[in-house]
Amino acid sequence: MTVRKIAGLVLCGILMGSGPAKASESASIFSSQTGPGENLAQLIARGAYVARTADCAACHVGADGAPYAGGYEIASPLGTIIATNISPSRTFGIGGWSEEVFARALRMGVTPHGNLYPAMPYPSYAGMSDEDVHALYIYLTHAVKPVERGPTVGTRLSFPFNLRTLMTGWNAVFSRQKPMAHAATAPGGIERGRYLVEVVGHCSSCHTPRNFAMAEDRSQFLGGAAVGGWFAPNITSDPISGIGGWSEDELVTYLRTGAVAGKSQAAGGMAEAIEHGLRHLADDDLRAIARYLKSVPPIREAGQREPAYGVAFAQPSNFEALNLGHDRSPAAMRDGASTQGEQIYVAACAACHQLHGEGTSDQFYPSLYANTATGGTSPRNLVMAIVKGVHRETNDGTVVMPAFGAELNDAQIAAVSNYVLSRFGNPHLSVSAAEVAGYRIGREEPLVVKLFGPAGVVAALGGLAAGLAGMSLARRRRGDGSDGAVAKMRIED
């Protein structure tokens, strides 16, 4: 399941703690938690739907796939963050938390064990309505099976980011959203779309660029941002840089299936978001999301003149002129070192995407022109699809593109990417082997570290802890780590 390792926290909520959560607050007893007149089954169903929409399970999954067991590794620019157990285990999970304690963690990033880091999108969840918080709490504590074990390793970050108290200052500056009213945000409510996008679905965690302190830059809301090696594109209403050229139906189809012929196919974190969350949502909710996105203030990328899917046809080429295959010597026939982009394209890609990049007539194997992965302003998603492949479970079977990251080296991936960009996509883009290597790792230093260095962060920002946001966090599934005490530091040099 390579793809589950993919970067990008499109919809995941992560409660992070320095160690296993332990029971500390007053016990929650089932019947006492439902209010008068509430039907428990209905409440659980609504909570489950909120959990789907917030995609809690994607990050809080156990290393062995156990739901909400925790242990999933999130590699951030500053170290490794481990998602915690949020099952109702009283020893290892949130079984001992009152609803009030739960709500503080969810909305404010403050747990009985200290501050969370904003890889858990609590700045978004802060807007969650009281009713949805309640339903989510009831669902997690009543309908989820307790997992009686914690992650074997805890979050380990480098100085000064390991100081959780620094987040208090960060929160004061960057996490100030207030809970929204239930009436406006419930299904059918006038604020439903905004609520799904901004709050529960936390789309902006990936699609909004971060500022110097790695908080979302509200002036660039949904304007597109790098996430690990991938690029979460501009989804504002701008017709060129955003989704303004998409019809509402196309957006709904995309959120449901991850594929719209002639526009885009979801990979990486977006494929995960669709697989775990979006495809399970009600049609009305997807429509509300689509409508709201089409109302988000447009952001135009300077210099962009046509939408990323706007490349209407392939540039001509003549692969026959490559004159391959003359040399039938065994040495030539086993030599897989070529960095000739067209040669690699024909042999490794064209079986599905076809010689002229047109894909199959049913577009199950999509065309490479009229495709946001090739025609946009970043080569990242093309490169990462080649490196990591595509894996997207849909309601209609699973879509897979095999990963070529092991079979092709960085120079070969750069070569074939550049061939694809020049022939099917944005010919002004190109990518180097070194850039491919960087995307593979999927982590870039945040600006604050680049500017000041780790030690300078404290001095320069006066205790304002940056970093560690959902941005450029590469999730990695743990192996069965038996060495419980020590987590390796994973800071980039």
Partner 1 sequence: MMPIQYDADVIVVGSGAVGSNLAYELAKQGKSVLILEAGVWVPRWKIVENFRTSPRKVNRNDPYPNAPWAPNSYTPGYIENTGEFDFRPGMLRLVGGTTWHWGGATWRFLPNDMKLRTLYGVGRDWPLSYDELEPYYTRAEYNLGVSGSDTQDQSGQRRGAAYPPRSAPYPVHNEEETYYFQRLKERIGAEGYEFLHEPHVRTNRPYDGRPACCGNNNCMPVCPIGAMYSGEVHAKHAQAQGARVIPDATVFRIEKGDGGKIAAVHYRTSLGNDARLTARYFVMACNGLETPKLLLMSDVANSSDQVGRNLMDHTGIGLQFLADEPLWTGRGPIQQGGVFNWRDGAFRSEHAAIKHAINNAVPNQEVTRILLERGVVGKKLDEQIRHMSARWVEFSTTFEMLPHAHNRVQPSTIRTDALGIPTLKVHYETDDYIARGAARAREDFARFVAIMGGTVIEDHTGWQNRDHLMGTVLMGDDPRDSVVNHECRSWDHSNLFMATTGVIPASGVVNPTLAAIALAIRSADIIAKEI
Partner 2 sequence: MTMSKMLREAWRAVSSGARRSAGHVAGTPERDAALSPIALPVDGHKFSDFLALSQFLTEKSDLDPAVATRAFLALTEADEAFEGHANRLLAAIQDGRLADMDGFDSFMAAHPALRSTAMRIISAWYLGYTGTPAPLDTEDDARFVAYESALMFRPTADATAVPSYTRGRTDYWRHPPASLATD
Instruction: Return binding residues for heme c.
Output: 56, 59-60, 203, 206-207, 349, 352-353
Nearer to partner 2 among residue 233 and residue 375 (C-beta)? 375
From the list partner 2, partner 1, none, pick the one residue 354 interacts with, judged by a Cβ distance below 5 to 8 Å according to partner type: partner 2
Site for partner 1 in 299-328 (CB under 8 A): 324-325
Site for partner 1 in 365-424 (CB under 8 A): 365, 391, 397-398, 400-403, 407-408
The single residue among 82, 166, 311, 344 that binds partner 1, judged by CB under 8 A, is 344
From the list partner 1, partner 2, none, pick the one residue 391 interacts with, judged by a Cβ distance below 5 to 8 Å according to partner type: partner 1
CB of 445 to partner 2, least distance (A): 42
From the list partner 1, partner 2, none, pick the one residue 407 interacts with, judged by a Cβ distance below 5 to 8 Å according to partner type: partner 1
173 forms part of the interface with partner 1 (CB under 8 A) = no
Angle between helices 433-441 and 410-424 (to 10 degrees): 110
Nearer to partner 1 among residue 20 and residue 405 (C-beta)? 405
Nearer to partner 2 among residue 324 and residue 437 (C-beta)? 324
Q: Which residues of 129-157 are buried (b: 16+ CB within 10 A; e: fewer)?
A: bebbbbbbbbbbbbbbebbebbbbbbbbb
The single residue among 26, 247, 360, 430 that binds partner 2, judged by CB under 8 A, is 360
User: Of 214, 229, 123, which is closest to residue 161 (Cα–Cα)?
Assistant: 214
355 forms part of the interface with partner 1 (CB under 8 A) = no
The single residue among 173, 347, 455, 459 that binds partner 1, judged by CB under 8 A, is 347
Nearer to partner 2 among residue 135 and residue 349 (C-beta)? 349
The single residue among 352, 451, 455, 459 that binds partner 2, judged by CB under 8 A, is 352
273 forms part of the interface with partner 2 (CB under 8 A) = no
The single residue among 365, 404, 419, 439 that binds partner 2, judged by CB under 8 A, is 365
- Residue range at the interface with partner 2 (CB under 8 A); choices 52-60, 108-116, 319-327, 458-466: 319-327
Nearer to partner 2 among residue 27 and residue 312 (C-beta)? 312
CB of 394 to partner 1, least distance (A): 12
- Residue range at the interface with partner 2 (CB under 8 A); choices 97-105, 207-215, 242-250, 314-322: 314-322
CB of 350 to partner 2, least distance (A): 7
Name the site residues for partner 1 (rule: CB under 8 A).
2, 324-325, 330-331, 333-336, 343-344, 346-348, 351-352, 364-365, 391, 397-398, 400-403, 407-408
Binding interface with partner 2 (CB under 8 A): 312-316, 318-321, 323, 325-326, 350-352, 354-356, 358-362, 364-365, 367, 369, 397
